[in-house]
Amino acid sequence: MSVIEYTTPSFDLSEEVLLLRDAVREIGEREILPTAAKRDHDHAFPAEIMKKLAEAELMGMLIPEAYGGTAIGNLALSVVLEEINYFDASVGVTLSVHNSLCASPISRFGSHDQKSRYLPRLAKGELLGAYALTEPDAGSDSANLRLKAEKRSDRWVLNGTKIWITSGDRAGLMVVFARTDSAAPKAKGISAFIVETGWKGFKVGKVEEKCGLRSSSTVEIHCEDLEVPDENLLGELNGGFKVAMDTLDGGRIGIASQSLGIHRACLDASIKYAKERQQFGQPIAEFQAIQWKIADMATDLDAARMLTHRAAVMRDRAVPCSREAAMAKSFASRACNRAADEAVQIHGGAGYTKDFPVERFFRDARITEIYEGVTDIQRLVIARSLLK
């Protein structure tokens, strides 16, 4: 018997999702694209754009309707994220983290009280969401995290540092992972907490200056005797690593979708430029070397989208999809980076300047292979599932 069976759910896009895609495309053209290059240059957080996305009901896509969301699901979110990232990957990651890494774990693991208190505000965009797992000594080895939570009567006191937290200085709410049992094996002594960033002891540290995603914000967070009420423990005590990994299955579909958006932007820009740019008395699109690049970029894009939509449909159907999400992210992010590299090459010297958007796409693409698990960790997840 084969170790790996076919997993080929049908993933036709419904009329509702197609309409949503078109509406988001319009928002992207009108609200996001005109200011994307300037925001990138100025490192300007897209606060006004996030308000527009909230008005378009894009902040509660994984939140149940009973708690104010649209619950439209992971496939629709993937389609939306591809569109948003086509215009601006900084806006894309802010939206992806909010939906997949903050609203989703509260929806999936939260108590009724937690959901009632926080989900409606996340869905309306009153609160922006973030997710804090990574620490100086816990990157790929996230189970090695040290941020400590100590129980004192009816509350937990958190002390320690998180790094590279997307929207950490903009978020109103953050899912924070902390060590609650230092005697237990690494992954067994971690718990998740819902933290309001206005609470005393929550401090924002260094703001990262990044190569790409320059208008998204990435910061260090310090918890200094930060008191979290017991009712804000998310999921089971010492069951936080499960929350973290389940959440990343969804998040990885989000980053695969981000890769699709950047990839498609690279392809479109390359086709346009190849038809316009004349060398040796003809458009460079007439050269077979250019045609092959375009053909490979388009083929990779379709393959990446199919893997991504498959994983999204599986998650929507509550079918375990860690392997498929890792396959989608690893393939889509690498394909996106190949496409960004080829897009710059097709543009020649022009692609290396800020006069053309592929320079930004090239810088933005790089992160897709790093966050929410580097490519090697995706391979590890895939291999472990096959070799167990």
Ligand X SMILES: Cc1cc2nc3c(=O)[nH]c(=O)nc-3n(C[C@H](O)[C@H](O)[C@H](O)COP(=O)(O)OP(=O)(O)OC[C@H]3O[C@@H](n4cnc5c(N)ncnc54)[C@H](O)[C@@H]3O)c2cc1C
Residues that are catalytic: 372
Helix residue spans in 9-140 (DSSP H): 15-27, 33-42, 47-55, 74-87, 89-96, 104-109, 112-124
Least gap, CB of 99 to ligand X (angstroms): 13
By the rule CB under 6 A, 187 interacts with ligand X:
no
Candidate list 79, 128, 132, 221; residue touching ligand X; CB under 6 A:
132
Per CB under 6 A, contacts with ligand X among 266-285 are none
DSSP string, 190-223: EEEEEEETTSTTEEEEEEPP-SS-TTS-EEEEEE
Which is it for the CA torsion 319, 320, 323, 325, positive or negative?
Answer: positive
By the rule CB under 6 A, 370 interacts with ligand X:
yes
Least gap, CB of 377 to ligand X (angstroms): 6
* 3-state secondary structure at position 191: strand
By the rule CB under 6 A, 166 interacts with ligand X:
yes
Amino acid letter, 50: M
Least gap, CB of 346 to ligand X (angstroms): 27
| ∠ Cα 19 81 98 (to 5°) | 115
By the rule CB under 6 A, 133 interacts with ligand X:
yes
By the rule CB under 6 A, 97 interacts with ligand X:
yes
Amino acid letter, 23: A
Do the beta carbons of residue 381 and residue 330 sit within 8 Å?
no
By the rule CB under 6 A, 45 interacts with ligand X:
no
The span from the CA of 342 to the CA of 327, in Å, is 22
Least gap, CB of 321 to ligand X (angstroms): 19
Candidate list 46, 110, 139, 189; residue touching ligand X; CB under 6 A:
139
Q: Which residue number has the CB closest to ligand X? A: 139
DSSP 14: P
By the rule CB under 6 A, 165 interacts with ligand X:
yes
Least gap, CB of 208 to ligand X (angstroms): 7
Q: Which helix (H) or strand (E) holds 267?
A: helix 240-276
Footprint of ligand X (CB under 6 A):
97, 131-134, 139-140, 164-166, 210, 213, 218, 367, 370-374, 376, 380
